[in-house]
Structure 1
Amino acid sequence: MTDVALILVTGAAAGLGRDAANALADDGHDVVVHVRTPARLTREDDSARWKGVVLGDLARLDDIHDVARQASGFGRFDAVIHNAGVLNSPEQTTVNTIAPYLLTALMDKPARLVYLSSSMHRSGSTDLGRLTDGTATYSDTKLWVTTLALAFASRWEGTVAHAVDPGWVPTRMGGAGASDDLVAGHRTQAWLATHDDVTPSTGGYWYHRRTQTPHPASQDKEFQARLIHVLERRTGVPLD
C-alpha cells in the first residue's frame, strides 16, 4: 500500500468510526468520512481534517446508493472500513448487513475491505428468512456481515477482506458499563486498513490484532453463497 492511503470510514460521526478515522488522519492518511447528516460533524476542525465527507442514511436503500456514488467521486479507495452499525433497532438489518453488501457491490473494489463484527455474532441465526421478514436480531446481522467479509476474502484479485470484533467498548452503543478497552476498539481496523504485515493476509476474524475462530457458518461456502443470493434478490444488485 502507498505511504498515504485513501480510506473511507462509514459511520464516522462518533464512537469507533470517529476514533478510527482520527487515528488514520493522525497517521497522515487521506480519510473520507461517512456521516448521516452534516449536523453530525460539529467539531471546529472537521472541515479541514478530512479529505472529504459523504452523506446519507444507511437505513435507506436510496441513500446507500447515493453514498456509493458520492464515495466513487474520490476514485478507488485503498481501504474501506464498514463501521456503521445500530443495535436493537428496526433498521439494524439494513444498516448492519444490507448497507455493507450494497456499498461493496456498487463501489470500485479497494485494496482492503474491513467489516465490523461483534462477539455476539456467535449467537446469530442462519435462518435467512429473518433477513427479509423483519425478525432479525443484532446477533443475526453481525453473523451475516461476518459471513460476507469471509466470503469476499478471496473473491476479487487485488482485494483482501477481514472481519473485526472491536470488543464491548464504552461508546454510545456499548454503554458506559462496557468493560473492554476503548482505544483497543479501533486499533485493529485501522491497522488492517493500512498494513501489509498481516497474517492471514485475507479472511481473518480479528480481536485486538489476534485472530479468533468465528461462527462456523461464516466460513461455510454454501452458507456464504446462500446469503449473497438472498442479498442480491433483496437489493436487486448483483455482487459481480
Structure 2
Amino acid sequence: MLSRYLNTPRIPGLVFVEQLYQQACADAATYSQGVGITREQLLALHASALGERGGCEYCPELGGRIDSLTEQLNSPCPACMARQRRQEARRRQRRRQLATRMQATRQEAAKQLAVVADFKAELAEKVVTEAGQRERPAAGQTASALLPVPRRPRDRQQSTKDMLAARQVVAQAEELDSSGREDLAFTLLRQSTTELLTPAETALVMVELRYHERNRLADGLIHAYGRDQGNQDVMAVALELHEKGAPDDAGAILRAALA
C-alpha cells in the first residue's frame, strides 16, 4: 500500500495515515527519537491534500497552515544549535590550549639550545686555554704558522670535547623524555644536531641514544637528519657511525637521505 501511494497520485485514506503514524512513532521510540511531526500536524497535511484534490473551499487556509508547518520543520532545532555552539567553543578552547603548549615547547627548546651553546663555548675556551699553556714558545724562538693536521687519527682532546658535548645533549634529552615530554626532547635533539653540533658530535649523540636505549629518539633523529641535511653532512655522520660500530644506523641515515 505504501508503494502504491508513493508511486501514484492517489491520496491515502485517513485510517492508513493514522496507522502509518502510529507505526513510525513505535519505530522511532526504540531509538529514543521522535518522528518530527505531531499527529495533528499530519492530519492537517492530509486534510489539505484532500482539499487540493477536491477543490475544497478551505484550501487557502490549509495551504497557509502547510507553509507554516513546513517552515517549522525546516527551522533549525534550538537544542541542536546550542549543542553546535558548545562544540565549537570547545574546539576553539582546544586550539588555544594547543597553541599555548606549542609556544611553551618552543621556548623550552630555545632555553635548552642556549644551555648547549654555552656549554660548547665554555668547553672550547677551556681547550684553547689548556693548549696554549702546553705550547708556550721558547724565548727568542720565531713563531711559525701551524701546519694543517690530518683529521685521522683524531686528536684525543677533540674526541673528548665531542663526547662531552654529545653527552650533554643526550642527558638533557633523556631528562625531557623521562618526564613524558618526548616531543620536546626530539625538538632539542634535532635543533642541536643541525644548529650547534658537528657531524662527529651528531654521530656520538646517536650512539649515546642507542646506548641509553632511547631507540625512538634515535630512530627519529636519524630519519630527520638524513632527510633534511646536506649530503656532505649526512655522509660524514654515516662514516662516523660506521667507524663507531653502528653500521645499521649508518645505512639508515643514508637511506633517509636517498628517500
The alignment's TM-score, normalised by the length of structure 1, stands at 0.28
Q: Which has the larger radius of gyration?
A: 2
Relative contact order, higher structure (CA 8 A, sep 6+): 1
Q: TM-score, normalised by structure 2?
A: 0.26
Higher strand share: 1
